[in-house]
Amino acid sequence: MKKGLSRRNLFKYMGVGGATAVVAGCEKKPEKLIPMLVPPTDYEYTPQTAYQYMTTCRECDAACGMMVTTREHRAQKAEGNPNHPVNQGALCARGQASLQTLYNPNRHAHPLADGKQIPWEEGMQQFSAIIQAASGAIAYLGKPASGSEGDFVDEWLQAAGGGQRFKFNLLTQKSQAEANKIAFDHADVPEYAFEKAGVVFNFSTDFLENWGNPVENARRFTDMHVYKNGRKNKFIHISPQVSLTGAKADRWIVINPGTEGLVALAIASVIQKENGTYKFLKKYLQAYSPEKVAEATGVSAEILSELAIDAMEHGPLLALGGGNVSATDQSVETLVAVNILNAVSGALNKTILFSDQTAPESSTHQDLTQLISDLNAGKIKLLIVDDSNPVYALPPSMGFLQAMKKVFVVSLASQKSETTHAANLVLPALTAYESWGDAFPRNGVRSIQQPVMSTVNMFDARAREDILLSVAQSVNKKAFSGNSSYLDYLQNIWQKIQRKVGDRRNFDSFWISVLENGGIFEKPKFIRASLNRRVASVKLNDPGMAGSDGLTLLPTTSLLLGDGSGANKPWLQEVPDPMSQIVWDSWMEINPDTAQKLGINDRAIVEVSTPYGSVQATAYYHFGIHRNAIAIPMGQGHQHSGDVADGFGINVMELLPDQMDKAGSLVFVGAKAKLKLINEKSYTVNTDGNARQL
Ligand code: SF4
């Protein structure tokens, strides 16, 4: 924990939205926080009565349905929308803590020009003037949009004179979509029917933490793994590291870093030889037989064959691949290998279900590299960063911050961040709890986002889309004709949806039912997929990461902090990491055997250096990691994201190269780290005590 965060302040942050009395008792200036909970007077409500509103969680791309309980027109609790087919009433910790985006003292309260408070009129005038001066040399960088917002921003860019939209998601599933395109001609991410599987092979994904929709995965996985009808299905974790997901496994197969694909092909080769399917793969798979890949993977031929027998005897199999820990420069090839395993084992169309939908949008790392190059070359005059934090999230080796300083940057954001700190003009945006939107995360699921309460008055913010709409109309009289707000735009879209789904009610009745349900939910329509012969030309090499030239760095995603956007929420900082039990800090997982050889004690402070940077972190002994690897979770190490986030832990992205795989996605695994002992003891706080207490 950093110095300077007093216990009093900690109570202050923890209490907002939950324990006002504690705040009032501890804080010297309660008037700074209390107004957030003081109900507005311009709305009708029955005092003491709880109202529930259905909306959508916007903390990650999964877009779960959310039910928010309000009293006196103030949101007090976030739960899952029971009507929503994907999360079915559940919500992860990040979703529940999203309430703290609303009552966060580190929200932007006023428009800022070069860090100084200005009135809204002046901010909008500056925005309008720079759009006109940019003459179409505009780049818009925001989160990928699964709902109507993508089309809205594209239309906005046209109205503003032109420009390009970048869909920024650090943890994109682009490589997976590319591998699915190669293997199945579907550049999409399928649905994973855990409940239909007899055995799950997990190739390093953290499906209970961040991969895909962790809330849905947890529900379906529980259904698969629970003891029923006298038996329990098998879950085998195949990875160089045991994550929270891996800790649930019946068996952990420790593999050399970066060899998930080779293991998948070895298992597939045994199964194909046995069942004789996909004859065109026979020769291809012979090159990856258990005997041939045993040394590279670090797994004996006997164990690889045992896994194949498990898949054949206990199937249907569900093999999962992807996520940070396997994101090497061969991640597309690795995911194709997992697809081959699913196909030869008969899992395709049983536990792997594709539907007829377009792939989730996302720009590649390559696109962002091009953006940086265009910023440096002066081809872009205005950069708009909408609700994203690329300055923190991208490896500094990419040079995003330096490039961004060469142009005028407008930031639309509700929360302080490293990116808003570096922006020329910050226009404070409302949170998802206070504004309209929608999300269509998968085929048949259209989820609405509605304001569940009136805005918190002490934050003088506006809806992001309304800011854009208003400024577009100031520079182009024809822009968004007939729309005076984003709600108008959204309702036009939903009128089309109403016609598409064949609802014959008048629009008002339809709209009310959408708001009551949280959206429109239809059954997904699955389509059959088949394995493409071109997979036989995809080659996988031994990545050679288990060598003695340093330890392979595995940057892992944090269950609580995600890509770092959760770090400004005290509830998430305070929850102990389920594996390390550490709070408010970062750590470096290291195998005790390796650590002792290097003379590093548990909880010592260690300098971790790669060719791209160095950081100091607390060593955390973990038997669940390969002896030639270390793991550091993402999410901490902020500098300009407010009191709750700043100064805690380190940002592992500082250690990564600017490198991409064949899908253009960022390579997370490949850097080799060297360690140096700095101090025998650290002051990292963990909730499971320490060895001296035993
Ligand atoms: S997975 Fe969690 S953070 Fe993501 S949308 Fe669902 S509840 Fe929100």
pLDDT, tens digit, 9 for 90 and up, residues 318-339: 999 999 999 999 999 999 999 9
Does residue 46 have a pLDDT over 80?
no
Give the H or E element holding residue 556.
strand 551-556
**Ligand 1 in contact with 67 (CB < 6 A)?**
no
Band of pLDDT at residue 682, cut at 50, 70 and 90: confident
DSSP of 632-662, one letter per residue? EESS--BSSS-TTTBTSS--GGGG--S-B-T
Q: What is the predicted ipTM?
A: 0.99
- Asked if 119 and 591 count as a contact pair (C-beta separation under 8 A), the reply is no
From the CA of 504, how far away is ligand 1's center (Å)? Answer: 33
What's the CA-to-centroid distance between 60 and ligand 1, angstroms?
5
Rounded Cα distance, 101 and 121, in Å: 25
Ligand 1 atom with minimal separation from the 213 CA: 1
Q: How far is the CA of 691 from the centre of ligand 1 (A)?
A: 36
Structure tokens at 186: 């579907």
Q: With a 6 A CB cut-off, is 216 part of the ligand 1 pocket?
A: no
Q: According to the model, what pLDDT value does residue 522 have? A: 93
Residue 17: predicted pLDDT: 41
Out of 51-55, 266-270, 676-680, give the one with best mean pLDDT.
266-270
Instruction: Tell how far the Cα of 64 is from the centroid of ligand 1, in angstroms.
Output: 5
Q: Which of 69-73, 392-396, 678-682 has the highest mean pLDDT?
A: 392-396
Measured CA to CA, the distance from residue 237 to residue 223 in angstroms comes to 18
pLDDT of residue 37: 55
**Of 88-97, 349-358, 472-481, which range is least confident?**
349-358
State the CB neighbour count (10 A cutoff) for residue 539.
10
User: Is residue 64 within 6 Å of ligand 1 at its C-beta?
Assistant: yes
- pLDDT tens by residue, 272-281: 999 999 999 9
- Work out which ligand 1 atom sits closest to the CA atom of 96: 7
Q: How far is the CA of 56 from the centre of ligand 1 (A)?
A: 9
**pLDDT tops 50 at residue 87:** yes
* Ligand 1: nearest atom to the Cα of 56: 5
pLDDT for 171 equals: 86
Distance, CA 74 to ligand 1 centroid (Å)?
21
Report the nearest atom of ligand 1 relative to the CA of 215: 1
Q: Whose CA is nearest to atom 8 of ligand 1?
A: 95
Residue reference for tokens 């901490």: 636
CA of 60, closest atom in ligand 1: 4
- Cα distance between residue 309 and residue 273, in whole Å: 12
Residue of 55, 64, 207 to mutate, ligand 1, most atoms within 8 A of C-beta: 64
Of the pLDDT bands very low, low, confident and very high (cuts 50, 70, 90), residue 434 is very high
C-alpha span between 610 and 258 (Å, rounded): 18
CA of 138 from ligand 1 middle (Å) equals 31
| 181 exposure class (CB count in 10 Å sphere: 0-12, 13-18, 19+) | middle
Report whether pLDDT(3) > 90: no
Sign of CA dihedral 149, 154, 159, 161: positive
Lowest mean per-residue pLDDT among 9-18, 103-112, 379-388: 9-18
- Ligand 1 center–CA 536 separation, angstroms: 37
- pLDDT tier at 291, thresholds 50, 70, 90: very high
Can you say whether residue 297 is alpha, beta or left, with left for phi > 0 and alpha for psi between -120 and 50 degrees? alpha
Q: Which of 77, 91, 173 to mutate to test the pocket of ligand 1 (most atoms within 8 A of CB)?
A: 91
From 57, 207, 209, mutation site for ligand 1 pocket: most ligand atoms within 8 A of C-beta: 57
> Does 116 have pLDDT greater than 50?
yes
Are 307 and 201 spatial neighbours (Cβ–Cβ below 8 Å)?
A: yes
- Pocket of ligand 1 contains residue 344 by CB under 6 Å: no
Residue 90 Cβ inside 6 Å of ligand 1? The answer reads no
Rank 58-62, 169-173, 266-270, 664-668 by mean pLDDT and report only the highest: 266-270
The bridge status of strand 408-413 relative to strand 234-239 is unpaired
- Domains by residue range for the chain, with CATH: 1-37 (no CATH), 112-167+361-442+444-521 (3.40.50.740), 174-355 (3.40.228.10), 551-693 (2.40.40.20)
Out of 299-303, 523-527, 538-542, which region has the weakest mean confidence (pLDDT)? 523-527
For residue 181, is pLDDT > 60?
A: yes
Strand pairing report for 164-167 and 317-321: unpaired
Residue in 434, 329, 228 with CA at minimum distance from that of residue 658: 329
Band of residue 22 on the pLDDT scale cut at 50, 70, 90: very low
Q: Is 143 in the pocket of ligand 1 (CB under 6 A)?
A: no
Quick one: which atom of ligand 1 is closest to the CA of 62? 5
Residue 172: the pLDDT is 86
Q: How far is the CA of 92 from the centre of ligand 1 (A)?
A: 6
pLDDT tens-digit series, residues 642-663: 999 999 999 999 999 999 999 9
User: pLDDT for 296-308, tens place per residue?
Assistant: 999 999 999 999 9
Cβ of 62 below 6 Å from ligand 1: yes
- Per DSSP bridges, beta strands 425-428 and 437-442 are unpaired
Atom nearest to 87 CA in ligand 1: 6
| Residues in a beta bridge with 448 | 438
59 lines ligand 1 (CB under 6 A): yes
Which residues does residue 558 pair with via DSSP β-bridges, in sequence order?
562
Ligand 1, from 54, 58, 59, 219: best to mutate by most atoms within 8 Å of Cβ? 59
94 lines ligand 1 (CB under 6 A): yes
CB 589 within 8 A of CB 630: yes
Q: How far apart are CA 149 and CA 597, in angstroms?
A: 54
72 phi and psi angles, rounded to 5 deg: 50, 40
Residue 57 near ligand 1, beta carbon < 6 Å: yes
**Which 3 state secondary structure label does DSSP give 133?**
helix
Whether residue 40 has pLDDT greater than 60: no
Asked whether the predicted pLDDT for residue 41 surpasses 80, the reply is no
| Residue 640 burial (C-beta neighbours within 10 Å; 0-12, 13-18, 19+) | middle
Q: How confident is the model at residue 689 (pLDDT cuts 50, 70, 90)?
A: low
Q: Is the CB of 213 under 6 A from ligand 1?
A: yes
607 CA from centroid of ligand 1 (Å): 34
Q: Are 260 and 338 in contact (CB under 8 A)?
A: yes
CA 58, 64, 65, 68 dihedral sign is negative
Residue 39 confidence (pLDDT):
54
How far does the centroid of ligand 1 lie from the alpha carbon of residue 20, in Å? 26
d(C-alpha 212, C-alpha 32), whole Å = 38
What SS3 class is residue 676? Answer: strand
For the cut 60, the answer to whether the pLDDT of residue 694 exceeds it is no
* Closest ligand 1 atom to Cα of 562: 3
CA of 79 from ligand 1 middle (Å) equals: 11
- Assigned token pair, 639: 């500098």
Q: Which of 55, 58, 60 to mutate to test the pocket of ligand 1 (most atoms within 8 A of CB)?
A: 60
Phi (first) and psi of residue 137, to 5 degrees: -85, 65
> What residues does 617 pair with on adjacent strands?
606
Ligand 1 atom closest to Cα of residue 94: 3
Q: Give the count of beta carbons closer than 10 Å to the beta carbon of residue 282.
A: 14
Question: Residue 337: what pLDDT?
Answer: 98
Q: Which is more confidently placed, 227 or 606?
A: 606
Question: Would you say how long the chain is, in residues?
Answer: 694
Q: How far does the centroid of ligand 1 lie from the alpha carbon of residue 91, in Å? A: 6
Average pLDDT over residues 670-682: 92
Task: Using the atom order of ligand 1, give the atom closest to the CA of residue 214.
Answer: 1
To test ligand 1's pocket by mutation, which of 207, 208, 210, 215 has the most ligand atoms within 8 angstroms of CB?
A: 215
Residue 453 has pLDDT above 80, yes or no: yes
| Residue of 601 and 32 predicted with greater confidence | 601
What's the 205 CA to ligand 1 centre distance in angstroms?
17
Nearest CA to ligand 1 atom 6: 64
pLDDT score recorded for residue 36: 53
Distance CA 269, CA 44 (A): 67
CB 256 within 8 A of CB 625: no
With a cut of 80, say whether residue 343 has pLDDT above it.
yes
Q: What are the beta bridge partners of residue 202?
A: 237, 320
DSSP assigned state of 322: -
Q: Residue 501: what pLDDT?
A: 94
The H or E element that residue 260 is part of is helix 260-275
CA of 157 to the centre of ligand 1 (A): 29
Cβ 353 vs Cβ 193: under 8 Å: yes
pLDDT at 228 (0 to 100):
85
Report whether residue 80 contacts ligand 1, using a CB cutoff of 6 Å: no
Contact 101, 642 (CB under 8 A): no
- What mean pLDDT value characterizes the chain? 91
The β-bridge partners of 77 are 69
Beta bridge partners of 435: none
112-113 and 425-428 beta bridge pairing: antiparallel
CB-based contact 172:557 (threshold 8 Å): no
Best of 54, 56, 92, 143 for a ligand 1 pocket test (most atoms within 8 Å of beta carbon): 92
Q: How confident is the model at residue 38 (pLDDT cuts 50, 70, 90)?
A: low
CA contacts within 13 A on the Cβ side of 190: 29
214 lines ligand 1 (CB under 6 A): yes
pLDDT: which is higher, 457 or 493: 493
Strand-pairing partners, residue 625, are 241
Beta partners for residue 12, in sequence order:
none
**Per-residue pLDDT at 18 exceeds 50:** no
